[in-house]
Each structure stands twice: as C-alpha cells, then as structure tokens.
Structure 1
C-alpha cells in the first residue's frame, strides 16, 4: 500500500510531542502509514452511516462520533498540520467511488487523525524515554500499537 500522506507534516506532529527527543524518518513513515490506515477505516464507518441516512456524501457529523473520547471532529483547516488533499485521498481509499466527501468532512477527518497522531506521538516519546533513548524510532510507534491491543 502506498502512503498518501506526506511524511513532513507527520514529522512535525511527532516533533511537537517529542520534547527534547529527536525523531527518526522511519518513525514518521510508520506513523503516516498508521494514520492512513486509521483514516481509511474511519471513512468506511462514515460511509456506512451516510448510507443508513440515505446519503452518498460523507459529512463532518459522520466523523464526529468516531473520534475517540467523543471529541467533536469540527476544526479549523488553518490550524492543522495534516494537509486536507491527502486526507481526502485517504478517505476514498476503501469506500465506493460513488461517495462524495464534503469539504467539512475532510477537515473533520483531518482533525480526528491529527488528534490521533498527537496521542500516538506522545506515547512513542514516552516509550523512547523509557528505553533510555534520545530518538523516537519506528519501533516506538509499533510498540504503542502492540500495547494498545491490550487496552
């Protein structure tokens, strides 16, 4: 699977959670892959909701309830690191071509994914520190997801 999301904004998200730690390029790549996978899965769920409502357009409210912790998914595109165009492509990866993705839905999904990335990046920083390293590595992101399976 090719990754639609550029690594540079993902690297920025990791670095804002890293404190004094460095960030490997592989960690940004791994997180970008995980963000893409999560975004595609959320879009499938949103498409199911739209279908239940008799719509072929994904809207922001389709993503609002999918945000972990019940966090509302509305956001300002100017305040986001993750670019909207790649998030739009991610949303369309696993859904039927007949669906449309409204602009507010793209922003909502980008907001949800950026919050998700922040949580993962913060946890990866803790794991790197726990391993007594000064660099967040790909394995820190991967270990987070292995641990998350248990909770």
Structure 2
C-alpha cells in the first residue's frame, strides 16, 4: 500500500474544512479525494511526490450547497493515476461531520463521564437543554450504542459552536 492516511482517523469528529494528511507515493504526483455519505459527494485532488514516499496535506472545503443528509461521511483518498491491472491504491475512513450534528459547529470539548452523570444532565450543563443529548450521542456514535448506558471514566466529545 502506498497511501498512509494519518488524518482524519476513523470516527474522528471533523468540521469544515476537513483536513487530510498522510504519506504516499503517487504515480503522477497526484492523489484524488472524495467525501461522501451516499447522497452527495465532494471531490478534488492534492499533490504528493512521485518517486518516493512523501507527506501530503490538504483542506477539503465542503460548499454550503452540498446536500449531505447524514452526519456520517466517508473520506476516500486514492491514486487514480496508478496504471496496471490491479485496482488503484485507496484508503477510506469513516468520520462524523460536526456541522450536520450541531449547526455552527466549531469543534468539540472532551468530557470525562462522572459517577451519576446522564446524557440529559450533560446536555443540560453544556447546552442548557436536556433534550439536546442527541447531539452528544451522534458525535459519539462509535462508543455509545445505548443512550441510557454511559459509565464513569468514559471519554465523550461534546460538540461546541463558535
């Protein structure tokens, strides 16, 4: 494999722009990327060295006109210029898209669950509204399978606005 995607990591909570970075060798010095959730897609390319492994980084701007319907996205980076009979080198990473979870998303604050905490109480503390616990659940869908079951010491991401 000649693409090592270091950012984002699987299930990262990302904003706009989505930052990608890693190491790669690309046949003609170009890597393609796409961001999709099954309904709409943003595509583009970034450059990388062509003779040996090189670092790459890019910021993928998600236009306001993009019709994403889900907060779960897939970031794919591939070397479409690689010739041959084998499929092109490709890496796909699932991420959560903060602007679809919380309007005005600017990042997240880590929170360690304490004894006696509930998601409703945490939502009331951060958002002033217990019913907004769904924002926390959606931002942590990779670790919260049941909103009624959280435990002390669990690390949650609390989305925040700018």
Same-fold status (TM-score > 0.5)? no
Structure with greater proportional helix content: 1
Larger relative contact order (CA 8 Å, sep ≥ 6): 1
Q: How would you bin the TM-score normalised by the shorter chain? A: under 0.3
The structure whose Rg is larger is 2
